[in-house]
Structure 1
Amino acid sequence: MNIKKFILFISLSGLFFSCSSIELFKERVEQKPYKENKTFVIVNKEVAIHGFEDVLMNEKIINQIERNMQNLGLTYDKERPDVVIRFSSNEDPRQKDVYQNQFPMWGMRVWDPWMFDPRFMNRGNMVSTKDYELIQLIIDFIDPKQDKMLMTITAVSEASSQKSKQKKLIKSVDKIIDAYDQHMKNS
């Protein structure tokens, strides 16, 4: 009985995590970390630069970055920061084709007791389009003392609604800050 529950859990979690794909790209590392950082500042917050057109989304990203950096043990200091953080975004509306199989589960509908289905008469595979948005969140980590880039990390994901967009962007911030933390620990 426990094995069946374990297999069900693994398959459902695999399905859940495969649907919410966020890919990270570490783009630019100009300098290796040479000290442990203790303070940070977010340029978008101090200078009122909008990384997103949506002001509410911009504030959510700022708050999430600040919260995650403080969870790493850094403090917010706009006077003498060890790390300067700047973020921007690319939001690209797109469409994709969705193909609907007219013969679900039974191949050529041989075993289907309801052979006649008027929805599928004289049609091949039906095609519809689905709107989605390709979202890139780009966060730069800058060393202000040497005026060099510590690293740039880009998170890329797709969202089909405003609610899923917000969730994916929050998860993207979490993943980017984790990647930054791993970079600082491993270098």
Structure 2
Amino acid sequence: IISLDFSFRLCPTPAKHSSSLPPKPSPRYDYQDSNYGMTNTLSLHSILIFDDADIYRKPWYASGCDRKTADDALFRLNKDGAFMVRKSSGHDAQQPYTLVVFYNGRVYNIPIRYIPSTQQYALGREKKGEEHFSSISKIIENHQRNPLVLIDSQSNAKEATKLCYPVKP
């Protein structure tokens, strides 16, 4: 079961950081190179690029899409199970993407979290017994076969849908 925040209101665009400030450093992770026995360091950003390469070719990935554009595109199609993945507006390395799903006249924006300790992804807020996936594509494939439970955070109403109709705005 995925706990979701649901809102008809659009979130304000986050303020841009001043260019005079230094960029925030990415978290770093060490890995052992089996060929040379050396320890190398990867930034979380570098790790996420590997998954980015996979999703750019997918019919459900909307690379330059903001929340309003995504919501509008799904409302226009107006089909239960319509969905897309977009970059999260917060630009947080541990919540890099958002799964946007249309169901029963509503649009759900579900955070996709990156879990550095396991190098996997999960949906929604962290919870006990949650499913972890090796890639964004695996999340989508799973929920094309198995219903995704949607919980309205305002009313606690539960609904479920499979991801059926990939949308690009």
Larger radius of gyration: 1
TM over 0.5: no
Scaled by the length of structure 2, the TM-score of the pair is: 0.30
Q: Which has the larger share of helix?
A: 1
Scaled by the length of structure 1, the TM-score of the pair is: 0.28
